[in-house]
Amino acid sequence: MSNLPTVAEVAQMIDHSLLRPELALDDVLAGCDLAAEYAVASVCVKPADVEAAVERLAGTGVLVGTVVGFPHGSATARVKAAEARAALSEGARELDMVLNIGRLRGGQDDVVLDDIRAVVEAAPGAVVKVIFENAYLTDAEKIRACRLSEQAGAGYVKTSTGFAPSGATLADVRLMRANVTDRVRVKAAGGVRTLDVLLEMTAAGASRFGATTTAAMLDELAARRAGRGIRGSCA
């Protein structure tokens, strides 16, 4: 079991996702409590839930993140920047923004660059993660998105929202890791529901994960490290 990361190490790779549209505020607060219990890196909540999450997680060390231009990326750069400023004013410290997918596919790289840069500049001190929504992109488009995100000053490139036809894949994680410098990290989201998938994607180059099965994955890791192997129990 010594080759496995510790539970604390993996917990600090997880953004506990609370983005489903049907979640009531009580559901979000319960998710915040779970995030605090497991000491994950952050929660990622809907913009309307930021203030409540910040209050709930005060003093726990768990950061609050939210989304910008979610889930389709089609808002204007001005609107996305306003979303970013509002989120920071309410206590968010990490922002997962969806780039303008249609403009990227249309070859309008200058528009995509300005779109990402508007959020980065509106959020000094915050971590900005750029969501590509890879289900809709070719590999060449993903590579361009990597380079534009880094040029704009983003801290992470991210595979997916979790709301498209498919989510993170090992091939995409490897491609994205290969096309940004060490300054930019890779976040995998969408379908990261088991410990084995998380560990495989870590080996492929991801260092942060959007997850809803946080407790199951971390409990399984604890069990494996204790020698009570229960592989596949959180599938």
Find out if CATH 3.40.50.970 is the number for domain 7-225.
no
Catalytic residues: 96, 158, 187
Mean pLDDT of the chain: 95
- Ordered by start, the domain boundaries in the chain are 7-225
Residues 129-152: tens digit of each pLDDT: 999 999 999 999 999 999 999 999
Residues 54-102: tens digit of each pLDDT: 999 999 999 999 999 999 999 999 999 999 999 999 999 999 999 999 9
Nearest residue to 9 (alpha-carbon basis) of 38, 44, 43, 45: 38
With beta carbons less than 8 A apart as the criterion, state whether 123 and 84 touch.
yes
> CA 148, CA 158: separation in Å to the nearest integer?
13
% residues pLDDT > 70 (the chain): 96
Q: How confident is the model at residue 230 (pLDDT cuts 50, 70, 90)?
A: very low
Which pLDDT value is given to residue 228? 67
The first and second tokens of residue 152, run together, are 């704009």
In the predicted model, what is the mean pLDDT of residues 140-169?
97
Please determine, for residue 123, whether its predicted confidence score (pLDDT) is greater than 90. yes
Apex 55 CA angle, 51 and 59, nearest 5: 135
